[in-house]
Structure 1
Amino acid sequence: MKLLTGNDLPSGDVIWWTGTGWSRHVEDAADVGAGGDALALAEEGARRVTGPYLIDATDTPAGPRPAHIKDRIRALGPTVRLDLTLKPADPNAGSWVI
């Protein structure tokens, strides 16, 4: 499974391609397959994302899980305090990072 990620141009937030647009939540991400490189170029050219790149991921019942620790950390959100993550009410928010 391949996911397309990058940063939102106005805010700098980490975003994930959903198949129809962008989301701040990795569980919304869609497999881009072989067309990921062309999609990354088109989205960057349209100035909807900055620094897009493809990553490997595995499909889980909870949604896609980035294969590399760097991208798992990016998916979770800030690493300073768990109450600053994208899901602060989730008691398991940080449990899948490592």
Structure 2
Amino acid sequence: MIILTGNDLKTGAVVWWDGAGWSLHLEDAVDVGDDGETIMAREESARRVNVPYGVEATLTDGIPRPGHIKDRVRALGPTVRPDLTLKPDNPAAIEEIV
């Protein structure tokens, strides 16, 4: 499974391709299959996202889980303080990173 991520050009926020646009939530990410390069080129040239790239992921309980720790940190936020994660209502968020 390949999912796409990048940064929103206006806000700098980490975003994930949801099949129709960019979402702030990893849970919305979809497998782009062989269309990744086409989507990334189109979205970057339209100036909606900065430096998009493909991420290998697996589905865990129906939610994409990036294969590399860097992208798991991008999905969940800082690891130094649990109250700063993107999901502060989820006490297990830090455990999801590793």
What is the TM-score when the length of structure 1 is the normalising length? 0.95
Give me the whole-angstrom Cα distance separating, in 1, the residues matched to 2:25 and 2:60: 15
Query: Quick check: 1:34 aligned with 2:20?
Result: no
Deviations 1:54-98 (A, max 9, x none): 010001115000001111111111233211111101111111111
Query: Quick check: 1:11 aligned with 2:29?
Result: no
Offset at 1:30?
0.5
Q: Which residue of 2 aligns with 1:24?
A: 24
Cα RMSD between the aligned structures? 1.0
Q: Which residue of 2 aligns with 1:75?
A: 75
Unaligned 5+ runs, structure 2: none
Letter in 2 for 1:6: G
Letter in 2 for 1:42: R
Greater helix fraction, Structure 1 or Structure 2: 2
Deviations 1:21-78 (A, max 9, x none): 1111111100000000110000000011000000100011150000011111111112
Q: Which residue of 2 aligns with 1:65?
A: 65
Higher deviation after alignment, 28-37 or 83-92: 83-92
Q: Which residue of 2 aligns with 1:90?
A: 90
Q: Is the 8 A contact 2:79 2:94 kept in 1?
A: no
Higher deviation after alignment, 54-63 or 40-49: 54-63
Offset at 1:10?
1.0
Query: Quick check: 1:48 aligned with 2:22?
Result: no
Higher deviation after alignment, 49-58 or 78-87: 78-87
